[in-house]
Amino acid sequence: MLYNDRMIEFSGVFLKYTKEFFALYDINFMIKKGEMVCLLGPSGSGKSCVLRVLCGLEKPTKGEVYIKNIPIKKVDFINDINVGYIPYKGAFFEKKTVYENLKYVVKLRTKNKAEQESIINKIVIDFKLEAILNTKAVELGLYQKYLVSVARLSIRELDMVLIDDIFKDLDENDKKTIISLLKEQFIKTNKTIVFATSDEVVAKMFGGRIIKLNNGSLE
């Protein structure tokens, strides 16, 4: 059956790494277009596995996953859907500067050099990146890495944003800043957002629907 408002559905999904261990066990849920959902659970609960399946980085052992009503094994992640993913520790080219990281993404959007610089300048101002623009990503602190990761995603036209437990090693002020930026960039623009956290306070700060996992299963 097709659902016009369905972005994601897990139907009886199992993910098994060894004969004895299920990373995911009989996972069933649906997420609507434009919905924000938090995967909440302790370390090892299966949160990251759900996100990795959605990115196409893991293939379910059993069951079906649908994205935009397409079985995930048939999804073309270049043409069918635009997915933004921030893994734990961030996503960027570590040996390139912040400017080079931004320009790489901007060049995919436009070949016009003047327009490229205009977009980069706006991102630098919006995310307050002036002081680290010429710093190599590998030299950044954790908070700065997440800031650059979010900035890079904000340049792209995305259908779905996936965020994997990036908050657990940040202090309270940095958590609030990153959450505020994510809300501004993605929630207000009606993107489908799935983020994982082990922190119930962070989950409540975001708002949205909470799906709880433990030991690879839904609670």
CA distances from 123 to 82, 129, 136 (A): 20, 8, 17
Instruction: Using the predicted structure, report yes or no on whether residue 24 has a pLDDT greater than 70.
Output: yes
Q: 142-155 and 172-182 are packed helices; what angle lies between their axes, rounded to 10 degrees?
A: 0
Angstrom distance (rounded) from CA 152 to CA 155: 6
Nearest to 13 by CA among 68, 75, 71: 71
The confidence band for 1, taking pLDDT boundaries of 50, 70 and 90, is low
Residue pair 144/136 in contact (Cβ under 8 Å)? The answer is no
What's 147's DSSP letter? H
Supply the mean pLDDT for the chain.
91
| pTM of the model as a whole | 0.89
Angstrom distance (rounded) from CA 183 to CA 204: 13
**Confidence at residue 109, expressed as pLDDT on a 0 to 100 scale:** 87
pLDDT tens for 81-140 read 889 999 887 778 889 999 999 999 999 888 999 999 999 999 999 999 999 999 999 999
Q: 98 vs 188, which has greater pLDDT?
A: 98
Residue pair 99/173 in contact (Cβ under 8 Å)? The answer is no
Q: What are phi and psi of 18, to 5 degrees?
A: -135, 175
**Confidence at residue 3, expressed as pLDDT on a 0 to 100 scale:** 64
**Confidence at residue 90, expressed as pLDDT on a 0 to 100 scale:** 76
**Confidence at residue 2, expressed as pLDDT on a 0 to 100 scale:** 55
Instruction: Using the predicted structure, report yes or no on whether residue 185 has a pLDDT greater than 90.
Output: no
**Confidence at residue 79, expressed as pLDDT on a 0 to 100 scale:** 84
Cα angle: 107, vertex 126, 79; to 5 degrees: 35
Computed from CA positions of residues 118, 122, 124, 130, in that sequence, does the dihedral angle turn out positive or negative?
Answer: positive
